[in-house]
C-alpha cells in the first residue's frame, strides 16, 4: 500500500524504502547494520560496532560527493551535515521509541515524491531530513567511494572528516567498506570502473569466472561528455553547471 503511493521516477527502486520499516520487520533487535549491494567489506567491522549510538537514530558517513559539488559551484558544502544512506548502523530501539518509521514515510510521501523531485534519490533525502541532527558521523573509511581515490585531494577529505591522512594511499590502506556508488563504477557492468581489481578478486574467490561477465568499456568520447553536460544542466541549471566545469578546468 505504501509503495503504491510512490510516484517518483528514479534509478533507485522503491524497495529502498523498506529501510524505513526495519525497526518493525526486525522486531526484537536493537541494532542492525544496513549496507547496499554495491559494496565490498574489505576489513573487520568490529570497530564500527564499538561506536556508542545509544542517543542517535543511526550512524552514517558524510556524503563527500556533496561537498565536492558544492566546492566546484563556489558554495559551502559543510554548512549542513548530509550523509550517504548506503551504509547505516541503525539504533532500532530509539527509532521505535520515537516513531521514526512513520515520520520517514510521511516525509517521503509529502515532501520527496513525484517526478519534480530532482535529486533522483529514493530514500536518502528523507533520512537526512528526519535524522541528520541525530546521526553519529562515521569516518569515510566506512563508506568509501572509489572515485575519490583518483583526482581528489587528501586535504579535502581530511577537512570534511576531521582526519589527518598524509596521502590517498594511506586512506586506502585503512578503508573498511568500499561503496561502488557511481553509475559507471559498477565493476560487474563496466571493465573501466574504479577499483575494479579489488572487486574482481572477491568475485573470483566466490567461485565465479570473470570471462562470463558481459561488461562494457566506457568510451569517453564527444557523445559521453555531451550526455554528462545535459544531465548537469538538468540537475544544476546553467549557471552552476558552468561554475562546475570551469572549476574542473
> Tens digit of pLDDT for each residue in 41-54?
999 999 999 999 99
pLDDT, tens only, 91-113: 999 999 999 999 999 999 999 98
Is 156:71 a contact under the CB 8 Å cutoff?
yes
Give this prediction's pTM. Answer: 0.84
Cell numbers standing for residue 130: 528526519
Report the pLDDT value the prediction gives residue 180, as an integer from 0 to 100: 95
Q: What is the pLDDT of residues 109-156, one digit of tens each?
A: 999 987 665 566 899 999 999 999 999 999 999 999 988 877 778 988
pLDDT tens by residue, 67-85: 777 777 777 666 788 999 9
pLDDT in tens, 15-29: 899 999 999 999 999
Contact (CB, 8 A) for 9 and 115 = yes
Which residues, in sequence order, are CB contacts of 90 under 8 Å at separation 6+?
Answer: 22, 23, 31, 32, 33, 34, 57, 58
CB-CB contact of 59 with 86 (8 Å) = no
3-state helix, strand, coil in the chain (%, to 5): 45, 10, 40
Instruction: Outline where the chain has alpha helix (H).
Output: 22-25, 64-72, 92-97, 100-111, 124-131, 154-161, 168-174, 196-205, 222-248
Task: Return the pLDDT at 224.
Answer: 67
CA distance 86 to 97: 23
Strand partners, 41: 177
Evaluate whether 198 touches 185 at the Cβ level (below 8 Å). Answer: no
Amino acid at each position: 500500500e505504501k509503495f503504491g503511493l510512490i510516484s517518483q521516477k528514479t534509478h533507485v527502486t522503491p524497495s529502498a524504502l523498506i529501510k524505513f520499516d526495519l525497526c518493525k520487520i526486525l522486531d526484537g533487535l536493537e541494532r542492525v547494520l544496513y549496507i547496499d549491494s554495491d559494496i565490498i567489506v574489505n576489513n573487520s567491522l568490529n570497530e564500527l560496532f564499538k561506536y556508542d549510538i545509544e542517543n542517535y537514530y543511526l550512524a552514517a558517513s558524510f556524503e563527500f560527493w556533496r561537498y565536492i559539488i558544492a566546492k566546484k559551484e563556489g558554495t559551502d558544502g559543510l554548512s549542513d551535515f548530509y550523509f550517504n544512506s548506503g551504509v547505516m548502523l541503525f539504533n532500532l530501539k530509539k527509532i521505535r521509541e520515537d516513531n521514526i518509521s512513520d515520520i520517514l514515510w510521511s516525509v517521503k510521501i509529502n515532501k520527496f515524491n513525484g517526478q519534480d523531485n530532482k535529486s533522483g534519490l529514493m530514500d536518502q533525502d528523507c533520512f537526512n531530513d528526519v535524522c541528520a541532527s541525530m546521526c553519529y558521523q562515521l569516518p569515510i573509511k566506512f563508506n568509501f567511494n572509489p572515485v575519490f581515490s583518483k583526482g581528489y585531494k587528501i586535504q579535502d577529505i581530511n577537512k570534511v572528516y576531521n582526519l589527518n591522512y598524509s596521502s590517498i594511499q594511506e586512506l586506502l590502506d585503512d578503508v573498511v567498506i568500499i561503496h561502488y556508488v557511481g553509475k559507471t563504477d559498477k565493476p560487474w557492468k563496466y571493465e573501466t570502473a574504479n577499483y575494479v581489481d579489488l572487486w574482481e578478486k572477491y568475485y573470483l574467490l566466490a567461485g565465479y569466472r570473470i570471462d562470463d561477465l558481459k561488461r562494457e568499456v566506457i568510451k569517453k568520447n564527444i557523445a559521453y561528455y555531451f550526455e554528462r553536460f545535459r544531465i548537469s544542466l538538468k540537475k544544476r541549471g546553467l549557471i552552476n553547471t558552468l561554475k562546475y566545469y570551469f572549476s574542473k578546468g
